Amino acid sequence: MAGTIIAVENLTAAYGDNVILKDVTFSVREGEIFAIVGGSGCGKSTLLKYMIGLYRPERGRVLVNETDFSSADEDEINRERLRLGVLFQSGALIGSMTLGENVALPLREHTSLPPSLIDRIVKMKLGMVNLSGYENHLPAELSGGMKKRAGLARAMVMDPKILFCDEPSAGLDPVTSAELYRMLAKINGDMGTTMIIVTHDLELIFRIVHRLVMLDGREKGIVAEGEPETLRRNASDPRVRHFFTHGGGLL
β-pair type (4-15, 33-37): unpaired
At CB < 8 A and 24+ separation, what contacts does 229-232 make? 232/206
Rounded Cα distance, 184 and 163, in Å: 10
CATH of 1-22+35-40+53-81+209-251, one of 3.40.50.300, 3.30.1490.120, 3.40.109.10, 3.40.605.10: 3.40.50.300
Burial class (CB in 10 A: 0-12, 13-18, 19+), 70: middle
Contact by Cβ (8 Å): 223, 190: no
> Coil, strand or helix: which one is 70?
coil
Which pLDDT belongs to residue 2?
Answer: 58
Question: What is the strand order of the sheet 33-37 is part of?
Answer: 84-87, 162-166, 194-198, 33-37, 211-216, 221-226
Crossing angle of helices 144-156 and 174-191, in 10° steps, is 10
Domain boundaries, the chain: 1-22+35-40+53-81+209-251, 93-193
Contact by Cβ (8 Å): 146, 176: no
Same topology for domains 1-22+35-40+53-81+209-251 and 93-193, yes or no?
Answer: yes
As assigned by CATH, the class of the 93-193 domain is: alpha beta
Please, which residues have CB within 8 angstroms of residue 77's CB and are 6 or more apart in sequence? Answer: 53, 67, 69
Which pLDDT belongs to residue 245?
Answer: 82
Which pLDDT belongs to residue 251?
Answer: 42
Q: Which helix (H) or strand (E) holds 115?
A: helix 115-128
Which pLDDT belongs to residue 209?
Answer: 96
For the chain, which ranges sit under pLDDT 70?
1-2, 91, 247-251
Which pLDDT belongs to residue 70?
Answer: 87
Which pLDDT belongs to residue 170?
Answer: 83
Which pLDDT belongs to residue 248?
Answer: 55
